[in-house]
Structure 1
Amino acid sequence: MSKIDLKGIITAMVTPFAEDESLDAGAAAFMADWLVERGVHGIFIAGTNGEFHLMDDDEKVCLTRAVVKAVDGRVPVIAGAGCCSTLHTIELGLRLMDAGADVLSVVTPYYLVPNQDDLYIHYERIAERVNAPVVMYNIPGQTGCKIEPETVDRLAGVDGIVGIKDSGGDFDTQLAYIESSKSHSGFAVLNGSDSLMLRAFEAGASASVAATSNIIPEVEVKLYNDFLAGRLDEAKIGREMMDPLRKTLKKCVAPAVMKQALNMMGVRAGITRTPVRMPAPDVVEEIDEMLKFYGIAHSV
Structure 2
Amino acid sequence: MSYPISRRTFLEQLTPAAIGLAAGAGALTSHAADHMKPVEKKFVPVMVTPFKSDLKIDYDKLSLLTDFYLAAGAKGFFANCLSSEMFFMNDQERIDLTRHVVNYVAGKVPVVSTGSFGDTIENKAVFAKQIQDTGASGVILITGHFAAASESDTVLLQNLEKFLSLTGDMKVGTYECPVPYKRLISPAVFKSLVSNRRFIYHKDTSEDIKNIEVKLKIAQGTQLEFYNAHTATAVESLRKGGRGMSPISGNFYPEIHTWLCRYADDPSKSADAAWIQSEIARTEPVISKYYPLSSKYFLKKRGLPIELVSRSKAKSIPAEQMKVLDDTYNVFLGWCDRLGIKAVNARQ
TM-score between the two structures when normalised by the length of structure 2: 0.78
| Maintained 8 Å contact 1:93/1:130 | no
* Aligned amino acid, residue 173 of structure 2: V
Query: Any gaps of 5 or more consecutive residues in structure 2?
Result: 1-18, 22-26, 30-40, 334-342
1:93 to 128, 143, 156: 128
| Maintained 8 Å contact 1:103/1:135 | yes
* Aligned amino acid, residue 63 of structure 1: L
2:341 matched to 1:290?
no
Q: Which residue of 2 aligns with 1:103?
A: 138
* Aligned amino acid, residue 156 of structure 1: V
Q: Which of 240-249 and 194-203 deviates more?
A: 240-249
| Maintained 8 Å contact 2:28/2:225 | no
- Aligned identity (percent) is 19
Taking structure 1 as reference, are residues 260 and 134 closer, same or farther at Cα in structure 2, changes over 3 Å only?
same
Q: Which residue of 2 aligns with 1:112?
A: 148
Q: Deviations over 1:197-223 (max 9, x none)?
A: 111112211111122112211121112
Q: If you compute each CA radius of gyration, which structure gives the higher value, 1 or 2?
A: 2
Q: Which residue of 1 aligns with 2:42?
A: 8
**C-alpha displacement of 1:126:** 3.2
Q: Deviations over 1:81-133 (max 9, x none)?
A: 13354223222211111112111111123593342122112323334415322
**C-alpha displacement of 1:153:** 0.6
Taking structure 1 as reference, are residues 147 and 269 closer, same or farther at Cα in structure 2, changes over 3 Å only?
farther
Distance 1:125 1:194 in 2: 34
Distance 1:99 1:141 in 2: 24
| Maintained 8 Å contact 2:79/2:114 | yes
Distance 1:158 1:61 in 2: 26
* Aligned amino acid, residue 31 of structure 1: L
2:55 matched to 1:21?
yes
| Maintained 8 Å contact 1:127/1:159 | no
SS at match of 2:216: helix
| Maintained 8 Å contact 2:144/2:176 | no
* Aligned amino acid, residue 143 of structure 2: T
**C-alpha displacement of 1:144:** 4.3
| Maintained 8 Å contact 1:25/1:62 | no
2:229 matched to 1:158?
no
Q: Which residue of 1 aligns with 2:252?
A: 215
SS at match of 1:164: strand
Q: Which residue of 1 aligns with 2:261?
A: 224
Taking structure 1 as reference, are residues 68 and 245 closer, same or farther at Cα in structure 2, changes over 3 Å only?
farther
1:49 to 80, 83, 107: 83
Counterparts of residues 112-151 of structure 1 (less than 5 Å): 112-113=148-149, 114-128=151-165, 129=167, 131-139=169-177, 143-151=181-189
2:275 to 215, 218, 237: 237
Q: Which of 258-267 and 121-130 deviates more?
A: 121-130
| Maintained 8 Å contact 2:245/2:257 | no
**C-alpha displacement of 1:242:** 2.0
* Aligned amino acid, residue 19 of structure 1: S
Q: Deviations over 1:227-268 (max 9, x none)?
A: 24333223223323424642321332x212111111222224
Taking structure 1 as reference, are residues 193 and 85 closer, same or farther at Cα in structure 2, changes over 3 Å only?
farther
